[in-house]
């Protein structure tokens, strides 16, 4: 394990452009529940894909918001803090001058809180909502003021900026470009089960430039695509990695 970390630290030190694919594992380390684990939201909420769908929002917008807030525990979002993995990625950008592109499947905004600036939020963000008619944007604070948040201009029920089921993943073209043109493609805390983001490691592994590495607690079906595979807890791994990076 230590030898793999030393290899990864050496690659990070030399890399100019690092592309990071982050999944639920980096957020659960900060205490945020995930969807797909053994004790995840899928196991606790019936019909979760329907309750978080475009169809449910447009057909039953009031009930949608009640379910949405409960499922995402929206009133607790501000209490979650970035962990060592988020912080090191921000340090690579601000202290070591790396170009770091973060492609995240998470909607919690912890990469932004940590200070990273180039973030492709493939599944949107929990931090805001918008009016589908006038397109005005609203903060999480406004969303939390009432059970069913509305636009202050036209009183229309807001839509969250999270990509709902049946919605389109965002920034996909930029994500593929980053995966193919970086020096290091690093996957963190992702089971690589969700399409189309799960395809990014394949494209990175077929490109000429990037080394590829994955840090995830459990094996994935795509581990063979990576040059370096580390199965361990993210915060502990990144704490050790920080000490090795020069």
Domains of the chain: 1-32+82-123+165-246 (3.40.50.1220)
Catalytic, 142? Answer no
State the catalytic residue, choosing from 123, 142, 171, 231: 123
What confidence tens digit (pLDDT) does each residue in 40-82 have?
555 555 688 999 999 999 999 999 999 999 998 898 888 899 9
The Cβ of residue 4 has, within 10 Å, a number of other Cβ atoms equal to 16
Judge residue 168's burial from the number of C-beta atoms within 10 Å of its C-beta, 0-12 exposed, 13-18 middle, 19 or more buried: exposed
DSSP 77: G
pLDDT cut 90: percent of the chain above it: 83
> What does the mean pLDDT of the chain come to?
92
Q: What is the per-residue pLDDT for 44?
A: 58
User: pTM of the full predicted structure?
Assistant: 0.92
Q: What is the per-residue pLDDT for 36?
A: 57
What confidence tens digit (pLDDT) does each residue in 107-164 have?
999 999 999 999 999 999 999 999 999 999 999 999 999 999 999 999 999 999 999 9
User: Which residues have a Cβ under 8 Å from the Cβ of 237 and sit 6 or more positions away?
Assistant: 5, 85, 215, 230
């Amino acid at each position: 394990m230590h030898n793999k970390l030393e290899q990864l630290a050496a690659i990070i030190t030399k890399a100019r452009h690092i592309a990071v694919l982050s999944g639920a594992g980096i957020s659960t380390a900060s205490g945020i529940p995930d969807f797909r684990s053994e004790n995840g939201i899928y196991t606790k909420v019936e019909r979760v894909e329907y309750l978080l769908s475009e169809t449910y929002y447009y057909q039953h917008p009031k009930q949608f918001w009640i379910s949405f807030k409960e499922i995402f525990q929206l009133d607790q979002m501000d209490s979650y803090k970035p962990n060592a993995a988020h912080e090191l990625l921000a340090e690579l950008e601000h202290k070591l001058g790396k170009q770091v592109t973060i492609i995240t499947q998470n909607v919690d905004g912890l990469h932004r809180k940590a200070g990273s600036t180039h973030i492709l939020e493939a599944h949107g963000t929990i931090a805001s909502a918008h009016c589908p008619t006038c397109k005005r944007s609203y903060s999480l604070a406004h969303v939390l003021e009432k059970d069913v948040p509305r636009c202050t201009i036209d009183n229309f029920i807001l839509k969250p900026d999270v990509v709902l089921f049946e919605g389109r993943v965002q920034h996909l073209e930029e994500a593929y470009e980053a995966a193919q043109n970086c020096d290091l493609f690093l996957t963190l805390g992702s089971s690589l089960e969700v399409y189309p983001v799960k395809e990014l490691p394949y494209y990175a592994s077929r490109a000429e430039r990037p080394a590829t590495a994955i840090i995830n607690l459990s094996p994935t079906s795509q581990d063979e695509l990576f040059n370096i595979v580390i199965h361990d807890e993210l915060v502990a791994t990144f704490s050790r990695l920080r000490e090795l990076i020069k």
